[in-house]
Structure 1
């Protein structure tokens, strides 16, 4: 308790956490804002299959993009540690590696997704109208994929250098532009579902271009020159690729969970998949807000590890943890007492509202179970310990999958119960792994 009290009362740590978390929370909240606006705009079109198409197409695109979230997470940890060491050359090389990876992966995915799309949609068994609109939506969104992946690398690198204002500018610019274009294209020009897709593409490219400008400014603050010939050697890529491989497998398992929710919801009907999309917007809102604190922890823990400062590491973890708990309680209360307003704001389709209202209790419980996994992800990312994150996610997935199968008879309620169990397992397994590393003194090994 003394260490907790010391951390909470340590004003410099509080300032450091909020100097990073504040801008990141604001920027992160702009991400689900786009999904909320998409749902609200398309949800007020006359047919449920139009909202369902955005839900299905958006879920598949999110599965694709978020699967490569390692471009942000892996970059942040290494950049934070290089910043803690004051290594400007490593920061330059890391930025180049992140952007090269983003470009190569975007090209590869664009070549693979189009032929695989019919297979994925066949698994969902959507109606004919929903199927056609979802295909059109996703084909358009693929034009923004290079920019989306480049933005991941840029935001991760900037956050690792403890610059949270630049990611704020990138995300706010991209997402507010997305909202404005969404309203214009869908309602003003009557482009329907395609208009929502084109709004996202233009916004993603705007964010990526701004990120390049901001990264160029930031890198000038660090002395040193990049060793460009090293980029041709496998040894210089191995640490980043090893971490990225583990984060990729971890993220793939997580996105598979969201894909399964969409697949099962689609099989239960257009109204059910649309209602689940509205509820998951609540999860996105919660996750992106709480991730602001986790992102702060990534940067501060990585910096503390680079500087080998155990006290700073412990203080950052306690302060971010307490604020995360308080925020999760706030979100739980929001969905419990104002959940119907939250759903009604997104759609006026009666069948969709009825299903979503019936499942609000599950959404209210979710932040209390999920908050610990978000926080601990920040610790593991800052420490570039991706293997433990991967193992925890795969184990939670393996334990949750048979439970989801067993609960199928309960319909959509069973789907949500299985999802809650998965998030709880994820948090518990990560906590056990963090405790084991701490007991062995592994976060900052003793000097020999």
Structure 2
């Protein structure tokens, strides 16, 4: 049994990493292709606009996280009806939120750019990107749900195929719209929107393959269940608070970076993209942890959960270490791919070594995130994020702002990741290793 669990975890990790590799490549394409233009204003503008999208889109990424954990638990309990109920309720919720965002886009843009710091030219470029990307809101949120559901059912290959196709299309459209049609920041946003709707269409086509399982239980499914939505929203509210705090830390980091000048903002945006790529590598193991942990909770196998958690922690650390080595050795060459601006590249080289502590500390935090998401312990994730943000991040980041020090800003991000790892690790150790319960009941 232990070997089967380990094999399943490693297979899921591999497919998740391959799928995840293409996700940050879309952001990489936005920055790298825009970086080929003469001005770094467009890179900085997209970075500023992405602060808003972090709140508008990733603020609702609980739709992916909760769907994965709950679906995996239903699968572990062999409850096909509950699996499809989770899918349909979450899709309805995601579609409704996406349409509401789209209807409110004018007010969101005006308010968002009024509170963000940046030069007028940077804000103008950011506004163009915002207007063309906001139209993807319904598709983006539905994609969160569909991705989470397929992952919860251990169908990482399905997610891999859809993600690779959609993101390769995004990269191709980026090159066409920006370099050939000269649409600049607007082109980067419209390319992302098209790829999101394409991704959603592929998922829905592949969902047809599940029709036989669906027709076996459709007469038992209750989509509009008040109790079901209360349970779903209760978990989602904790994860949403956790996610909003996560976004706020990165948004403050970028906003404080903009106060150091557009060149520093552009350099930090490059380093942030590389950290995102590394995080997606590590998330291959973290998402596999979600799926396997959910399955194990569904069949009440706590001993197996302990073994997989240990394996996942080691895997996440090794992945982060490997990524840092691969990125930092040819760092100068990589930075030049992102920008033609020599001052921006020089700044990226100066601060590039901060990638290592952020990702290495982050690897432990990401694995613990996957563990608690898989067993649907949203309150633990919420409380950890509150403590890490208030104690480990905000004071140091504010010091970096008033001291005009980018090194201190990066120290705050490293400290933040360390805080998340410590707070989550302590709870996991006390609750699941010291007491040595034999089951969840």
In structure 1, the partner of 2:375 is 383
Post-superposition CA distance 1:329-379 (Å, at most 9, x none): 112222332222221111111111111111011112221110011001111
In structure 2, the partner of 1:347 is 339
Question: Of residues 117, 121, 134 in structure 1, which corresponds to 2:113?
Answer: 121
Whether the 8 Å contact between 2:132 and 2:193 is mirrored in structure 1 is yes
In structure 1, the partner of 2:143 is 151
1:429 paired to 2:413: no
In structure 2, the partner of 1:262 is 254
Query: What SS is found at the alignment partner of 1:162?
Result: coil
Structure 2 gap ranges (5+): none
In structure 1, the partner of 2:27 is 35
Question: Of residues 355, 367, 372 in structure 1, which corresponds to 2:359?
Answer: 367
Instruction: Report the Cα offset of residue 68 of structure 1.
Output: 0.6
In structure 1, the partner of 2:312 is 320
In structure 2, the partner of 1:137 is 129
Which aligned pairs between 1:390-405 and structure 2 lie closer than 5 A? Answer: 390-399=382-391, 400-405=393-398
The range that moved more, 111-120 or 240-249, is: 111-120
Instruction: Report the Cα offset of residue 153 of structure 1.
Output: 0.1
1:217 paired to 2:209: yes
1:310 paired to 2:302: yes
Which aligned pairs between 1:14-413 and structure 2 lie closer than 5 A? Answer: 14-218=6-210, 220-221=212-213, 224-226=216-218, 230-399=222-391, 400-408=393-401, 409-413=403-407
Whether the 8 Å contact between 2:400 and 2:406 is mirrored in structure 1 is no
Post-superposition CA distance 1:230-284 (Å, at most 9, x none): 3333112122111111000000000001111121111211111111110001110
Q: Number of residue pairs matched? A: 438
- Cα RMSD (Å): 1.8
Post-superposition CA distance 1:409-430 (Å, at most 9, x none): 1521111111111111011111
Cα distance between partner residues in 2 of 1:12 and 1:52: 47
Query: What SS is found at the alignment partner of 2:222?
Result: helix
Instruction: Report the Cα offset of residue 226 of structure 1.
Output: 3.5
Q: 1:119 to 1:320 in 2, by over 3 A?
A: same
Instruction: Report the Cα offset of residue 37 of structure 1.
Output: 1.3
Post-superposition CA distance 1:5-58 (Å, at most 9, x none): xx9xx5423321122111111111111111111111100101111111121123
Post-superposition CA distance 1:358-404 (Å, at most 9, x none): 10111122211100110011110110001100110011111121222
Cα distance between partner residues in 1 of 2:398 and 2:20: 33
1:445 paired to 2:440: yes
Cα distance between partner residues in 2 of 1:23 and 1:445: 29
Cα distance between partner residues in 1 of 2:59 and 2:174: 25
Instruction: Report the Cα offset of residue 440 of structure 1.
Output: 4.3
Shift >4 Å, 4+ stretches: 440-443
The range that moved more, 351-360 or 431-440, is: 431-440
Instruction: Report the Cα offset of residue 222 of structure 1.
Output: 6.4
Whether the 8 Å contact between 1:186 and 1:195 is mirrored in structure 2 is yes
Q: 1:219 to 1:379 in 2, by over 3 A?
A: farther
Cα distance between partner residues in 2 of 1:237 and 1:226: 18
Whether the 8 Å contact between 1:437 and 1:443 is mirrored in structure 2 is no
Whether the 8 Å contact between 1:335 and 1:364 is mirrored in structure 2 is no
Whether the 8 Å contact between 1:124 and 1:267 is mirrored in structure 2 is no
Cα distance between partner residues in 1 of 2:437 and 2:195: 42
Q: 1:35 to 1:443 in 2, by over 3 A?
A: farther
Whether the 8 Å contact between 2:22 and 2:167 is mirrored in structure 1 is yes
Question: Of residues 413, 416, 420 in structure 1, which corresponds to 2:410?
Answer: 416
Post-superposition CA distance 1:92-134 (Å, at most 9, x none): 1111011101111112222344313233323333222111121
Whether the 8 Å contact between 1:124 and 1:264 is mirrored in structure 2 is no
Query: What SS is found at the alignment partner of 2:340?
Result: coil
The range that moved more, 324-333 or 387-396, is: 324-333
